[in-house]
Amino acid sequence: MAHHLPAERHGPPPQGQPPRQARPARRGWRDWRGWRDWRRWPAKHDWPSWPVWQNRRAWPARQRLALFFGLAFVISWWVWPLTLLNPDSSPMVPFGPALAAVTVAFLCGGKEGLLRLVRQLVRWRVPVHWYIVALALPCLLVLAAAALTVAGGAPAPDLGPNPGWFMLIGTFASTLVIVGLFEELGWRGYALPLMQQNHTALAAALLLGVVWALWHLPELVSDPTGQRPPVPFLLMLIAQSVLLAWIYNSTGSTKSTATEERSSGTGSVPLCMLFHASFNTSGALLFPALAGPHYLTLWWTLALLHVLAALVAIAYAGPGRLARTLDTKAPNGIT
């Protein structure tokens, strides 16, 4: 006996019944190839991500500084424990501040932030008198400290007819890169501008000087020769930080267009490098010649002369900016 199914109704359902749902169409294997089409994938900004990392370019200056200081200390200090095995080895890695600055600038600013940092290395076109200040001021401070130490009873240093000029040139060149570039790109090129966003120039320079002095702690603790007496050395570094901030801020651009503000508006890191190299070179010439019972007197005299020079710079340029002319509209508080 044949069973006949009721014919499928076409048209609207009878009154009082819910509307019929459309039967889903069958999917063949060809319909599942859409997963290969990358154009149907969600956009990159729709992917899940860590909110903190996603907004890293909006980090305030304090977070960037904390990351920079942490990296600078870790990178520079990781070899310190190795001095227990070899006391003659260096307790620090000199390129810590520069590598930390490059890393944080790229992470928080991308390519534009990295270029803004690196462009400071080519800012050589500054007035000539700032070259004189950067090269002559540290030499005068070292010479004045040596002269006052000799006037106080120390024997006059015997430099001989040839004090090793080739050695001094080599010392200046190596210090310009190993000390000047590796330190100043981080301390003055990156940290100082960020600190000046929330502090006056003087306060930022003093705080940075304290951090800079603490960064040298492995050299002070692990140096068996006593080459750097801790207290006058730390005092000198804090005062020197003020002088370097004065040079950096004073060599910033004083007028710029909107396009130039995105690419310049920064101080001259090379002049800070020259200051650093000039000081280390002149110290390498005179400090060994005055080694002895008056060596500590030499360092205290040098530290007090740095403090005096810093006070003169503050009185001349003002504590708010440490510069007679300054670009106050530079991006990211660079100057």
pLDDT at site 50: 44
Looking up tokens 């500084």, which residue turns up?
A: 65
State which amino acid sits at residue 265: G
d(CA 70, CA 78): 12
- Identify the weakest region by mean pLDDT among 16-30, 130-144, 241-255, 297-311: 16-30
Is pLDDT of 19 > 50? yes
* Span 28-55, pLDDT tens digits: 544 444 444 444 444 444 444 444 444 5
pLDDT at site 83: 74
- The tokens of 247 are what? 């040079």
Angle between helices 128-151 and 295-317 (to 10 degrees): 140
* Span 264-303, pLDDT tens digits: 347 899 999 999 999 999 988 888 888 888 899 999 999 9
Max avg pLDDT among 5-14, 117-126, 163-172: 117-126
Is pLDDT of 209 > 60? yes
* Span 153-173, pLDDT tens digits: 888 877 665 556 777 788 888
Give the CB-side neighbour count of residue 181, counting CA atoms within 13 A. Answer: 12
The pTM assigned to this predicted structure is: 0.76
Contact between 75 and 96 (Cβ < 8 Å): yes
H or E element that contains 277: helix 269-286
- The tokens of 207 are what? 């705080």
Nearest partner of 120 among 188, 61, 189, judged by Cα = 189
Domain ranges of the chain: 123-333
Contact between 156 and 150 (Cβ < 8 Å): yes
pLDDT at site 162: 57
d(CA 79, CA 76): 7
DSSP code of residue 13: P
Give the CB-side neighbour count of residue 89, counting CA atoms within 13 A. Answer: 13
Looking up tokens 């790109």, which residue turns up?
A: 185
